Amino acid sequence: MGNLAMALPNAPETASPDRSAVLLVGEGEMRVLLRGLLRLSRFRVVGEAATWEEARRLLAAERPGLLLVDEPRDAGALLAQVAAERGRWPRVRLVVITAAARVGPMTDGADANLPRPFRLRDFARAIDPAGLPPDRAADA
């Protein structure tokens, strides 16, 4: 497995800091799903958090290129905390997965809002807009 990973550019084990991610997700099944989708997209998950306090510590320690937040049902307070401290990590791409009806003022500070349910290409565009092949970028 190590040889295969070394042969692939940007394989998860050798991903650049811009291709590293922290997950802020409470639900176990969603955490597993998002971790898998990130790995398929050649991102290395450097940390997982269930609370903003945990995510803040991981952001400071790991300096990832992506913070992926799955909005919980009681998202108002969480998203307000994330938005209030957004300026501390200007180089971190912030993607918020929301219920379709909740995209709005609380998610305006995000680089991308991804309403559930989402298509895989929408996920790929949200986490890495430059990563889509040029011939498919218009389709996404």
Domain residue spans in the chain?
16-130
Residue 132 contacts residue 114 (beta carbons within 8 Å): no
Residues 6 or more apart in contact with residue 29 via CB below 8 angstroms: none
Average pLDDT, the chain: 78
Domain 16-130, architecture per CATH = 3-Layer(aba) Sandwich (3.40)
pLDDT tens per residue, range 48-107:
998 889 999 999 999 999 999 987 656 667 777 787 888 888 899 999 898 766 555 556
